[in-house]
Structure 1
């Protein structure tokens, strides 16, 4: 395996409960767990007692948290909605990230809410500018994912956000498999944005006959996973590769509850793919 590669997984893709999430990454021999939901509840919405208990369990297991997911700007929050909800969530996550020892918070750039492109982009940019300023004050980094939102499917818009806002607290999360689901090739996008990528989700998919993406093990689909990993390594990527299989759980559709066995098998498939890249001289 190439030097410097660090592996993690989005925990609720393995199981709803934290003990099983920790157990799944431990079975893989990893010690990193990306947090999205615990018992079906997003990290920012856990009550204080539940959060403190989760943090203690992670510490006791020696499991690091490289990133937490937020709902800021995601599919459920159009840019026409109440911005105070996002600001409040960021404040909660700032406190909780300090406890968890992580700086990365996943965000998106808002559904349009029916606005035209120009107004959509203006409002999304204003919100992310304010969020980045606050994140900077808290020592956090917002990692914008190529998913829902004004900049979700276009490299030029992602670059406009990052360079236009100009804050070190706004960078990019690249999900390798999202391109298949959203109808674009991931590799050309990654080549444009790679200097600003601070976190990676590993996912693979192929186009289904009904137009819906069918999620498959890494390297078995159309997302050019191996090629994307080579681009990242050659570009000096120093972040984490976090598996988000979507095989047993489709969170945006509200379907599935995770599967530890499928999660572990997915992690093993990624390890084999990375080992092949390393043996072929695809490292830095």
Structure 2
């Protein structure tokens, strides 16, 4: 097994709302990229042109790339009945911004149901995915579907249906820790979906669908090391990105007013480096060169 070409990254707004502190967090870790979701509480697609130009300029000045951008397409706040035009517009906006940032990965989900029959829910989701993927392919993007909210949230057969419907512009994002909140064991997905995983999120913890308690990677029950080992053994060479959920969860509107979020983010990243290093990346500690 060789894991030394793995690129480590992190969702910046889990370290701080502002871009300067997000940059500080990944820079302290010595990593070469950040994953972007929001800046100062505003989703990347909703930043005005001046704000986005400032963000991209600060990233360039810091020498940081962008591993992925996290959209709201199909997420927990947009059901299968939500206007599809909103998602198409967000994808078009992000296509322009991804080109400026030098990334091609856009995180999506697959639309929670809102009263449709199972058959109608499936039909609508797959139809939307075909259109989104076609538009992404024309823009040179790859949509990565996260095992989180929506039709294909936790069912590997449904995830593979999405990949089939979307073609080469739709692949999977495997989040090690999402099973806690959604009531399944994420590690058990891997034998079915590993060949299609293009991006990985790391969080860990304990709890159930009612209450979750998040921890440093390796301290919870999400089998972080086992999952990484499984992926590395099967040739995964993409990005592993931290989503600590310890102090800030911007998508939930929650933050802990105490403590230094950047320090916690860096501690989380150091723990991940140790886990990845133990799996075969001793010479680079998991940072792509």
1:154–1:248 CA distance, 2 compared to 1 (3 A): same
Q: How does 1:26-105 map to 2 (within 5 A)?
A: 26-105=27-106
Q: Which residue of 2 aligns with 1:262?
A: 264
Are 2:118 and 1:109 aligned?
no
For 2:196 and 2:281, the matched residues in 1 are separated by 27
Q: Which residue of 2 aligns with 1:169?
A: 169
Contact in 1 for aligned 2:144/2:199 (Cα 8 Å): yes
Query: Structure 1: any 5+ residue segments left out of the alignment?
Result: none
State TM-score, norm by structure 1: 0.95
Q: Which residue of 2 aligns with 1:226?
A: 225
Are 2:244 and 1:242 aligned?
no
Give deviations 1:53-72, integer Å, cap 9, x for gaps: 11011001000101001010
Q: How does 1:189-200 map to 2 (within 5 A)?
A: 189-200=189-200
User: What's the C-alpha RMSD, in Å, of the aligned pairs?
Assistant: 1.7
CA shift for structure 1 position 279: 7.8
Contact in 1 for aligned 2:59/2:65 (Cα 8 Å): yes
State the secondary structure of the residue aligned to 1:167: helix
Contact in 2 for aligned 1:79/1:113 (Cα 8 Å): yes
CA shift for structure 1 position 146: 0.2
For 1:166 and 1:72, the matched residues in 2 are separated by 14
Contact in 1 for aligned 2:41/2:250 (Cα 8 Å): no
Contact in 2 for aligned 1:155/1:189 (Cα 8 Å): yes
* Segment drifting more, 34-43 vs 244-253: 244-253
State TM-score, norm by structure 2: 0.93
Contact in 1 for aligned 2:3/2:237 (Cα 8 Å): no
- Which protein, 1 or 2, shows the higher relative CO under an 8 Å CA cutoff with sep ≥ 6? 2
Q: Which residue of 2 aligns with 1:127?
A: 128
Give deviations 1:26-65, integer Å, cap 9, x for gaps: 1111121000000110100000000011101100100010
CA shift for structure 1 position 166: 4.7
Contact in 2 for aligned 1:141/1:171 (Cα 8 Å): yes
State the secondary structure of the residue aligned to 2:195: helix
| Moved >6 Å (runs of 4+) | none
Contact in 1 for aligned 2:134/2:166 (Cα 8 Å): no
Contact in 2 for aligned 1:181/1:205 (Cα 8 Å): no
